[in-house]
Structure 1
Amino acid sequence: MNDTTVARLRWRCRRGTRELDALVGWWLDARYAAAAPSVQTAFAELLDAQDPDLWNWLVGRAAAPRADWQAIVDEIRGRDRV
């Protein structure tokens, strides 16, 4: 992991709402560095999702279409319980 990669991801974590910014930004700050490379890649790909879809996954209205994305979503949703 290098600073440029994290800076680009941080920019991509800026979403359409403050709530989405905070949720995906939390995962970047709290989990990204320790995550396996495949999970880091999945997170970068998750950020390509449209905001309404991402929001629905994060609030539990729908499941993410990929298991690796859902694992990240579950970590974000459970962040206050850890």
Structure 2
Amino acid sequence: MNLNDKKLQWACRRGMLELDVMLKPYLDDVYPSLDESQQAVFRRLLEQQDQNLFEWLTARHTPEDTELANMVKQIRSYAEHRER
């Protein structure tokens, strides 16, 4: 695991269990197969405040940024399918 991977692993640990259980599996299972532009959007998503991430990932609000909104949809969809 290189330094960037370790930084991403750390960035997915948010201190809110609800976020951790959605972000970490997505990073492990999906992120490696994303193209560079999608990986950049995911990294940008991780730069957001925990409260915003919580509201977006629990479908209370939608990001105004279209790229972030699409990434949130992907993460939520992945999390829903993992739970089944």
TM-score (norm. length: structure 1): 0.87
Q: What percentage of residue pairs aligned between the two structures are identical?
A: 32
Moved over 6 A (4+): none
Unaligned residue ranges in structure 2 (runs of 5+)? none
Letter in 1 for 2:36: P
Q: Normalising by structure 2, what TM-score?
A: 0.85
**Counterpart for residue 12 of structure 1:** 11
Q: Quote the residue 2:66 is aligned against.
A: 67
Cα displacement (A) at 1:10? 0.5
Whether the 8 Å contact between 1:26 and 1:76 is mirrored in structure 2 is: no
Partner of 1:42: 41
**Letter of the structure 1 residue corresponding to residue 31 of structure 2:** Y
Matched residue SS, 2:71: helix
Structural RMSD (CA): 1.5
1:71-82 aligned at under 5 Å gives the runs: 71-79=70-78, 80-81=80-81
Q: How many residues align?
A: 81
Which segments of 5 or more consecutive residues in structure 1 lack a partner in the other structure?
none
